[in-house]
A and B are shown apart, each in its own frame.
Chain A
């Protein structure tokens, strides 16, 4: 009796679990190709967006020599420039930014590829009116953030009430600039 009391529930539960898992494997089989495709499409679209002059990209792996850490960036096949994927900590988590820098040292554009910022506030960073600000020749000493509203050539106007998000995006872009300097300066 005791064995039956334990055996039947256990078997039922196991069967249910197996059936559910089978369904999941099935659904995964149906959807995974499309999900992967969407991801690649989104990435390619983002790269084109930040460096419109480029046609296609080749992936390059750069060994920083620190702790075996590697940086992956994208070089335009037609020599138009480079695209970097960097990130920085924002208000709600990591903010990932793609930056396109031409071979003349000008930021052609940036786009935010992932973020968890506050809707209606930090998410204003997604507007082109904000990201367009980053289109400039690379300034010495990197890009700075100002809240005063009157930005100099090397300054970005912070989003009102969302300084943390603004700083996160700016830090990510500055990091991209640093990598660019390393590649170009290192005679790559």
Chain B
């Protein structure tokens, strides 16, 4: 586990295996909250925040509590409950001690609880057998990739507002088709990580 290895995990999570455009985790907020740039940034910052904290808590729980006691099958239920509790807890702390941060992010926090992206990254860390540092890097990359996709897409959707769209495609369909085009552009990153590190 060298620095190169960590950088390659980071780049892979952000670009080649982008959580939204490649793994389809976090589609609901992607489609729902990406209309304006500031909400997109607010939402993605909250996601990065929660992903990192969730990994920091779930990794030790699985490694030191569940696996040694043959309780792997409790992973799903333990993780989701931990994440839900964590988000509640963070919201309370932010409200009391970091009011400005709460005003910026607080409203997005409950939305992230039942979100594929956060639960997804915590499970993925174990599918890939990452150690603690690798898991943290993976989550950071996942969150940053989420933000990248959201911000880019917010730009695309702002342009869509002033375009002439056929009736049947208005609303959700054109949003999805635009998303597919953004996803194609990300396909271009295939082979980037391998190429850089070989």
Binding site for B on A (CB under 8 A): 17, 20-21, 24, 28, 32, 89, 91-94, 163-164, 167
Contacts and interface: CB of A to CB of B under 8 A. Distances in A.
Given A93-B127, A93-B128, A94-B128, A24 B190 contact: no
Nearest to A87: B129
B75 to A, nearest CB: 11
Interface of B: 17, 73-74, 77, 81, 127-129, 190-191, 194
Contacts, number: 21
Contact of A164 (B73, B128, B191): B191
A32 B72 CA distance: 11
Given A17-B81, A21-B74, A32-B73, 18 more contacts: A20-B77, A21-B77, A24-B73, A24-B74, A24-B77, A28-B73, A89-B194, A91-B190, A92-B17, A93-B127, A93-B128, A94-B128, A94-B129, A163-B191, A164-B190, A164-B191, A164-B194, A167-B194
Nearest to B190: A164
B68 to A, nearest CB: 16
Contacts of B77: 20-21, 24
5 contacts: A17-B81, A28-B73, A32-B73, A94-B128, A163-B191
Contacts of A28: 73
Contacts of B81: 17
A163 B77 CA distance: 38
Nearest to A35: B73
B85 to A, nearest CB: 11
Contacts of A17: 81
Contacts of A167: 194
B35 to A, nearest CB: 30
A149 B81 CA distance: 52
Contacts of A93: 127-128
A30 B103 CA distance: 49
A21 B17 CA distance: 34
A20 B73 CA distance: 13
Nearest to B22: A92
A8 B17 CA distance: 45
A158 to B, nearest CB: 12
Contacts of A89: 194
A82 to B, nearest CB: 24
A129 to B, nearest CB: 24
Contacts of B17: 92
B125 to A, nearest CB: 12
B11 to A, nearest CB: 12
Contacts of B194: 89, 164, 167
Contacts of A20: 77
A91 B22 CA distance: 11
B140 to A, nearest CB: 18
Contacts of B190: 91, 164
B196 to A, nearest CB: 13
**5 closest A-B pairs by CB:** A28-B73, A93-B128, A164-B191, A94-B128, A24-B74
